Amino acid sequence: MKLEKYLGCSQAARKLIKADLVLKNAKIVNVFTDRVEEGNIAIKNGMIVGIGDYAGEKEIDLEGQYVTSGFIDAHLHLESTMVNPQVLISQAAQHGTTTFIVDPHEAANVSGRDGIDYILDQTKNSPAHVYVMIASCVPSTEIDDNGCRLTAKEMEPYIRNRRVLGLGEVMDDMAVIKGDPEMNAKLELFDGKVKDGHAPDLSPEDLAAYVLAGITTDHEGTTYEYIMRERAMGMICHIREGSAAKNLENIVKGIVENNTNTEGFCFCTDDRHIEDIIREGHIDNNVRKAVSMGISPIAAIKMATIQPARCYGLRRTGAVAPGYDADLVVWDSLKEFNAQMVFYNGQRIDSMLKVKPEPCPPQLKDTVHLAKIDPEKLRVAPGPVPAPVIEMIPGEILTKRLDLILPGTEDGGEFIPDGEIDKIAVFERHHYTGKIGAGAVKGFGIRNGAIASSVSHDSHNIIVIGDNDRDIILAVEELARTRGGYTIVENGAVFDTLELPIMGLISDKSYSYVSKKVRRMTNKAHKMGVPANMEPFVTLSFMALPVIPEIRCTPRGIFSVTEWKLLNQ
């Protein structure tokens, strides 16, 4: 802290001068004593300087409402909200999230360093603390077809950026475990900094080898049993509740039933739609759910404040105490968690905050480079033998492998979707290669049409599920026309499209425009057969990610994650 700032804060703490702001008659959640304490909070130069009988240039009487430090999202991808990062941050901040640990690997996989720089530039003047973990796996694996490759040497300049905290989720766990030299160079580059993990369903031996590399967090645990294996090895577990991946209930149920110490847990959203944030909240949604299931309010608050702050080395974040940033939330209760007021650096966040995005570099609006579509590549190999089928699981991004005789192939014919099993295809869209991988999927349920997206983790090729080739091709052509987005086609006609021209991931329109489109298209998808308990677009976007078990579709074909091989070669 600069001496001038310190002296001002010190004088206010000693009551030699008035504080800038005093929040009076607060019920303060103390994350160090695990108690709720009554008092006044004095703020000077954006910092909390004291708790007690203070006077301020400005005073707000909270009349006994609860105050906590601002919440922290321990891991998220801003791109997944599909709106300008500033819009997402402004909306989430109004729900009490004042610190964001961002992994820009979606943008990086499309546009490399230009994508990372876009995220840094767009968030530099946010009404919140926005930190970045540099994308570790660009591409995610060697079998991915993405837009760019990011090496350790290209990452080097980011080490000196004060907003960069460490290495983003290390998705290629086998590259870590087998000592791939390129991966090891990235791990070495970030020695002394936090290295985020991505370790779904590793064996105890492989998980031990993964942890040996210095990776300290994971957000991919979906069961209590698995996250306790990670905790036993010292990992910090981020409990995820996003739009598609909803893991909180399973994990919290185990924590409550086993009376597990919660010190090694944080909350994250990972991938959450702006529509869901507006309707349900952000990290406050995680806290509210955890408390409703039996986690004590103070324990849940610590999981959203001081614990992620310590995990990422944020010394002045996460507590209501002298020396901590005045990022504060006033709540109606420690049950409902409805934010009444939010402060960032001692300034109240205006609910009508006007967002002013930074200009978007033109090259980021030219990232859909799709070759002419060859319909023959959509054919799924005929034959009266069992074929691998992707079974989707509502509320999860995990899949299961089924081996079934596909409808239409019983007598050696071509696969024809039958109402239970649909066709899935992924079109390479970065380098005009013309690659198309096609296969079968169960559990999506689309009828008389197709749904497509240029958001498909993490390589972000165009992914589509439909029940006929005509509508599948039309959906893909529509996304080529709009330079990316979401689209729904029904009976040979485009029903609606949400344009995402920035890297094929982000809209250049308002959040209300995006929200309205997503809501309308989601309702239509459910009417066309997608299960009501499945978020269609976010769930679809994960079906091409070959680091999540058990089976995926890539531009090269159907891929077994558990066997680590293509199944149609």
Residues 291 and 437 both lie in one domain: no
Contact 239, 265 (CB under 8 A): yes
Residue 157 has what DSSP assignment?
G
- What's the pLDDT score for residue 419? 82
The per-residue pLDDT for range 210-250, each reduced to its tens digit, is 999 999 999 999 999 999 999 999 999 999 998 878 899 99
Helix and strand numbers (H, E) in the chain are: 16, 27
- What's the pLDDT score for residue 185? 97
Residues 386 and 495 both lie in one domain: yes
Which of 142, 145, 150, 167 shows the shortest CA–CA distance to 108?
Answer: 150
Q: Which residue has the tokens 């109240």?
A: 348
- What's the pLDDT score for residue 97? 97
Task: Give CA separation, 82 vs 146, 276, 514, 569, in Å.
Answer: 19, 12, 8, 35
In a domain, 43, yes or no: no
In a domain, 347, yes or no: no
Could you please report the per-residue DSSP string of 286-298? Answer: HHHHHHHTT--HH
In a domain, 368, yes or no: yes
Which phi and psi (to 5°) does residue 18 adopt? -75, 150
pLDDT mean over 51-72 = 97
* Domain with 499 in it: 364-566
Contact 438, 455 (CB under 8 A): no
Residues 414 and 544 both lie in one domain: yes
Residue 252, classed as helix, strand or coil, is helix
The per-residue pLDDT for range 391-437, each reduced to its tens digit, is 999 878 889 999 999 999 888 888 999 989 999 999 999 999 999 99
Residues 400 and 482 both lie in one domain: yes
The per-residue pLDDT for range 37-49, each reduced to its tens digit, is 999 999 999 999 9
pTM of the model: 0.92
- What's the pLDDT score for residue 353? 63
Q: What is the CA radius of gyration of the chain?
A: 24
In a domain, 101, yes or no: yes
Quick one: residue 313, left, alpha or beta (phi over 0 = left, psi -120 to 50 = alpha)?
left
Contact 71, 97 (CB under 8 A): yes
Q: Give the number of other CB atoms < 10 A from CB of residue 352.
A: 5
Residues 368 and 299 both lie in one domain: no
Whole-number percent of the chain with pLDDT over 90: 86
| β-pair partners for 24 | 61
Residues 311 and 388 both lie in one domain: no
Confidence of residue 159 (pLDDT cuts 50, 70, 90): very high
Residue 174, classed as helix, strand or coil, is helix
Residue 138 has what DSSP assignment?
S
Contact 436, 425 (CB under 8 A): yes
Residues 148 and 257 both lie in one domain: yes
Residues 380 and 298 both lie in one domain: no
Residue 392, classed as helix, strand or coil, is strand
Residue 442 has what DSSP assignment?
E
Domain end residue (candidates: 274, 290, 315): 315
**Residue 352: pLDDT above 60?**
no
Strand order in the sheet with 71-76: 71-76, 97-102, 129-134, 164-170, 194-197, 217-218, 236-240, 265-268
Contact 283, 255 (CB under 8 A): no
pLDDT mean over 300-311 = 98
Domain end residue (candidates: 298, 315, 332): 315
pLDDT mean over 191-203 = 95
Which of 348, 379, 508, 339 shows the shortest CA–CA distance to 20?
Answer: 348
Question: Which residue type does 101 have?
Answer: I
In a domain, 333, yes or no: no
Comparing 467-471, 474-478, 510-514, the range with the smallest average pLDDT is 510-514
Residues 309 and 422 both lie in one domain: no
**Residue 280: pLDDT above 80?**
yes
* Both tokens assigned to 8: 């001002």
Question: Strands 339-344, 347-348: parallel, antiparallel or unpaired by DSSP?
Answer: antiparallel
Residues 276 and 416 both lie in one domain: no
CATH number of the domain to which 304 belongs = 3.20.20.140
Give how many domains the chain has, as a whole number: 2
Comparing 205-209, 282-286, 392-396, 489-493, the range with the smallest average pLDDT is 392-396
- Average pLDDT over the chain reads 94
Contact 568, 377 (CB under 8 A): no
In a domain, 44, yes or no: no
Residues 424 and 520 both lie in one domain: yes
Residue 142: asked if its preceding bond is cis (omega within 30°), the reply is no
Which of 44, 169, 236 shows the shortest CA–CA distance to 457?
Answer: 169
CA pair distance 292, 340, nearest whole angstrom: 20
* Both tokens assigned to 4: 């001038």
Pick the more confident residue, 25 or 276.
Answer: 25
- What's the pLDDT score for residue 343? 97
The per-residue pLDDT for range 131-149, each reduced to its tens digit, is 999 999 999 888 899 999 9
Burial class (CB in 10 A: 0-12, 13-18, 19+), 2: exposed
Residues 236 and 382 both lie in one domain: no
CA pair distance 372, 393, nearest whole angstrom: 33
Could you please report the per-residue DSSP string of 354-386? Answer: PP-PPPPPGGGG----PPPP-GGGGPPPP-SS-
